[in-house]
Homo-oligomer: A and B are copies of this chain.
């Protein structure tokens, strides 16, 4: 049985955390909204389909598997983790991975809100001055706080939780690449404080199935519709 992933087709977004886990495990899945429109793909079909699901999810990403409809990124990954070999076998280990994933989710939300501090429905161009003010604090306080935290979690260990890679490691890779895309100057300045985190990101990127995935057209490039956006004015010294 193939997993069905339902997510906005033009961006990595939060769906990418699910894609990375599925790809790393070589799982059989269909990225439904990326199919041609005449096969059910596209944003409009996704919106229609979401409202018809039972129980109704609030927003994508949504995973359909075994007749279950599962939403919220961290919740999807908690379901997939043990099934894909990307979570520890015991409850304490799974709680730990879920905790790390939720902390990454908080960082992702804050990274998004830097370019949309006033409202998600407004254009960036309508909140540029506020975004610039928000970016100063995000780069000076929040990025070092969060990334320094993950760096400490890697003291004495190749992976965030236990002796094998978990979906939290794949997610930290994605966050690092996203921040490098959106805030290249800030990440360059922080690099000296983050040797373990950057090495982990490289280690994830070198996993054979992810090497193939990242080089494939299935990996949507970062762009200015997603969570991590390269607006140079938000990354100025």
Hey, which bits of chain A sit against chain B, CB under 8 A? Answer: 55-58, 68, 70-72, 74-75, 78-79, 92, 95-96, 98-99, 102-103, 106, 109, 113, 117-122, 130, 133-134, 136-138, 141-142, 146, 149, 152-153
Q: Is the CB of A153 within 8 A of B98?
A: no
Distance of A197 from chain B, by nearest CB (Å): 14
How far is it, in angstroms, between the C-alpha of A79 and the C-alpha of B102 when the chains are bound?
Answer: 14
Q: 13 A-B contacts, Cβ less than 8 Å apart?
A: A55-B153, A57-B99, A70-B95, A72-B98, A72-B99, A74-B102, A75-B95, A75-B99, A106-B109, A118-B133, A118-B134, A118-B137, A120-B142
Tell me if B117 and A134 are in contact (CB < 8 A).
Answer: yes
Q: Kindly list chain B residues whose C-beta atoms are within 8 Å of the C-beta of A119.
A: 133-134, 136-138, 141
The chain B residue sitting closest to A146, CB to CB, is B58
| Nearest chain B residue, comparing its CB with the CB of A63 | B95
Does B68 lie within 8 Å of A95, measured CB to CB? Answer: yes
Q: Are B56 and A152 in contact (CB under 8 A)?
A: yes
Q: Please give the distance in Å from A168's CB to the nearest CB on chain B.
A: 12
